[in-house]
């Protein structure tokens, strides 16, 4: 699955950057990541990404409550986070 374009955004009362989706079903939604944990299952050689998030703004189609309940939205922002972490990891080489 190809991820939609997104941009980082600033908000005066937040200490960190958020993200605004620029295309797709969730275009114009603004959200922030909270605590992020990577839990490893060494026995099965797997890891899971767990994170908290806060939605700052919905769009014309989805309000904040709908987005908080949407598995599709949660999967999407999880995929974006995984891409961000992978990009960050690759810059350390």
Tell the burial category of 56 from Cβ atoms under 10 Å away from its Cβ (0-12, 13-18, 19+): middle
Q: How confident is the model at residue 91, as a pLDDT?
A: 58
Token pair listed for 31? 């959200």
- 81 vs 86 pLDDT, higher one: 81
**pLDDT above 70: residue 4:** yes
Q: How confident is the model at residue 88, as a pLDDT?
A: 66
Question: Does the predicted model carry a pTM greater than 0.95?
Answer: no
How do residues 24-42 score in pLDDT, each as one tens digit?
999 999 999 999 998 888 8
Strand partners, 55: 31
Q: How confident is the model at residue 45, as a pLDDT?
A: 85
């Amino acid at each position: 699955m190809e991820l939609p374009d997104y941009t980082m955004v600033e908000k005066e009362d937040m200490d960190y950057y958020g993200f605004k989706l620029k295309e797709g079903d969730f275009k114009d939604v603004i959200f922030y990541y909270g605590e992020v944990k990577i839990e490893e299952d060494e026995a099965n050689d797997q890891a899971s990404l767990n994170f908290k998030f806060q939605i700052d703004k919905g769009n014309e189609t989805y309000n904040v409550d709908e987005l908080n309940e949407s598995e599709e939205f949660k999967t999407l922002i999880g995929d974006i986070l995984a891409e961000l972490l992978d990009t960050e990891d690759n810059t350390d080489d």
